């Protein structure tokens, strides 16, 4: 386990890199033009490294390497079991480095260390899951006895462009890398510029696991430079993107020229609906965890809590009291429950919403920087009650530890409030009424619904949103579908009966 040094301000891991490079065709390289950008940690907001800033020419090199590995390399032609062995070795390596991965992720993102450890294990499980899935994969065959047989030939598509966000970056990269590689594609990964540290570890992990050179390529850089070049590249037929909705709209437009396959998981403003018959204590536990875990920087956060009026006052009082007790502090302290937001730019955005909320709702907890943390990107868990459905803090994605609570009187009103945003990623419903639970789930505009549960997802289930929250689904066989072409092969059995044109 990596040792560390403790400063007066915060924990700093040892052996931090001072420069982060691209990884192209099995080699660590700088940008062709030498451009770099600064990388800071969110506790001190000081730069600890520079990273190579990818431009179009760097993307061109990465795509060329990936294309060569796809067309002429062994990876797409390996048997599923052979690829699965590599994926399992990758999972073994991730698990073996759990402490180091979590340490670096926490330092780079500000996530509490206890939550970062869970992300590393989930990343390993993603690789194991898809290793199993491709070995068990079978394709359809349709028969008409004596007449015809038809079967589906599933093939990898080519170079997949993967663009990932800065919240839980290592784990979310694994969501895309595992199925893309499992199905025989090659990849170019463009990680978020705020958090490039843990992504750089994939290169060595993959190399040591036996992944052929060129199959995995990594280009750091800004979205409008490296990301834009990747989306527009004619030799990249697939783009999988997780991030903010307006960026997704730009990618949609830019991918249209080459008719690329798109999978996009975008923003959210998910409702957590608590009915009067709910298990109140369990609902409060879940509603707190759902918006304040991962510093509130999670796309599926239940950041709009809708509470039936009969229990509204009791819920608000208990919820606010618990929010005030949440431990905010150094991300590396195991007692910390909310750490530092990822970057000063994002801190300023969230802080501005807190100020907006003071005129749009009744402040019950938080409301700004904790008194004991005068530096760093810290915001106390903030709770607003009596928030109107047209308020900005009700409608707009804040992506921080800020929650809006709104009362309702009837099931119809609750459903109308739940659906009253442009987003549709997740929904959380708390009720003991089985009929209500299922009917509400079917009518709520959300790609995923949790009944009497916090955000726990089986890897076999589809992940994705509706409306402004995304396009398409990944997860389980939906990922296999996205990263493969399904070619139908038709064979005639017996005599061929074709109209004799021109006979």
> For 175-199, what is each residue's pLDDT tens digit?
999 999 999 999 999 999 999 999 9
* pLDDT at 9 (0 to 100): 53
Q: Residue 246: count other Cβ atoms within 10 Å of its Cβ.
A: 11
Residue 380 has pLDDT above 50, yes or no: yes
* pLDDT at 208 (0 to 100): 97
Q: What's the predicted TM-score (pTM) here?
A: 0.95
Burial of residue 458 (CB within 10 Å: 0-12, 13-18, 19+) is exposed
402-408 β-sheet, strand order: 362-365, 382-385, 402-408, 304-308, 271-274, 426-430, 448-451
pLDDT tens readout for residues 94-148? 999 999 999 999 999 999 999 998 888 899 999 999 999 999 998 899 999 989 9
Catalytic residue ranges:
265
* pLDDT at 497 (0 to 100): 85
* pLDDT at 138 (0 to 100): 87
Q: Quick one: tokens of 141?
A: 């065959």
Region 292-316 average pLDDT: 97
154-158, 455-459, 481-485: least confident range: 455-459
Domains and CATH numbers, the chain: 19-266+469-487 (3.40.605.10), 271-451 (3.40.309.10)
Q: Quick one: tokens of 437?
A: 């639970």
Region 282-299 average pLDDT: 97
287-291's contacts with Cβ under 8 Å and 24+ in sequence apart are 287/319, 287/403, 287/428, 288/319, 288/322, 288/323, 288/326, 289/454, 290/428, 290/454, 290/455, 291/401, 291/402, 291/403
Region 55-63 average pLDDT: 98
């Amino acid at each position: 386990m990596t040792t560390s040094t403790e400063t007066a301000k915060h924990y700093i891991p040892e052996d931090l890199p001072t420069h982060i490079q691209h990884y192209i065709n099995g080699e660590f390289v700088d940008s062709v033009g030498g451009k770099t950008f600064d990388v800071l940690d969110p506790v001190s907001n000081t730069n600890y490294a520079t990273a190579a800033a990818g431009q179009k020419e760097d993307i061109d090199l990465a795509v060329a390497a990936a294309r060569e590995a796809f067309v002429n390399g062994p990876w797409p032609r390996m048997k599923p079991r052979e690829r699965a062995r590599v994926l399992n070795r990758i999972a073994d390596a991730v698990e073996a480095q759990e402490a180091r991965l979590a340490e670096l992720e926490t330092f780079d993102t500000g996530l509490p260390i206890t939550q970062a450890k869970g992300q590393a294990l989930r990343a390993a499980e993603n690789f194991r899951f898809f290793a199993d899935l491709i070995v068990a994969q079978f394709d359809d065959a349709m028969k008409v006895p004596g007449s015809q047989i038809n079967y589906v030939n599933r093939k990898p598509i080519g170079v997949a462009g993967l663009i990932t966000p800065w919240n839980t970056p290592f784990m979310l990269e694994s969501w895309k890398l595992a199925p893309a590689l499992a199905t025989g594609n090659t990849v170019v990964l463009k990680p978020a510029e705020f958090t490039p540290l843990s992504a750089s570890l994939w290169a060595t992990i993959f190399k040591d696991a036996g992944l052929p050179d060129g199959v995995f390529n990594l280009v750091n850089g800004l979205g409008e430079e490296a990301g834009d070049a990747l989306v527009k590249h004619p030799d990249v037929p697939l783009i999988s993107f997780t991030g903010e909705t307006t960026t997704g709209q730009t990618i949609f437009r830019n991918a249209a020229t080459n008719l690329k396959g798109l999978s996009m998981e975008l923003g959210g403003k998910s409702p957590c609906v608590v009915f009067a018959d709910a298990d109140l204590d369990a609902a409060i536990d879940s509603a707190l965890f759902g918006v304040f875990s991962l510093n509130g920087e999670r796309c599926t956060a239940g950041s709009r809590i809708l509470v039936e009026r009969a229990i509204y006052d009791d819920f608000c009082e208990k919820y606010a009291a618990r929010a005030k007790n949440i431990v905010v502090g150094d991300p590396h302290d195991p007692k910390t429950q909310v750490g530092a937001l990822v970057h000063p730019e994002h801190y300023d955005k969230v802080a501005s919403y807190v100020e907006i909320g003071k005129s749009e709702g009744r402040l019950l907890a938080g409301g700004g920087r904790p008194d004991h943390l005068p530096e760093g990107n810290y915001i106390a868990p903030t709770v607003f009650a009596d928030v109107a459905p047209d308020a900005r803090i009700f409608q707009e994605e804040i992506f921080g530890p800020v929650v809006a609570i709104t009362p309702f009187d009837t099931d119809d009103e609750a459903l109308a409030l739940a659906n009253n945003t442009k987003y549709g990623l997740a929904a959380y419903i708390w009720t003991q009424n089985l009929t209500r639970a299922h009917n509400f789930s079917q009518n709520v505009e959300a790609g995923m619904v949790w009944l009497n549960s916090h955000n726990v997802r089986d890897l076999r289930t589809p992940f994705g949103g509706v409306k402004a929250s995304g396009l398409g689904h990944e997860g389980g066989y939906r990922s296999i579908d996205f990263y493969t072409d399904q070619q139908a092969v038709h064979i005639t059995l017996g005599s061929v009966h074709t109209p004799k044109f021109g006979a």
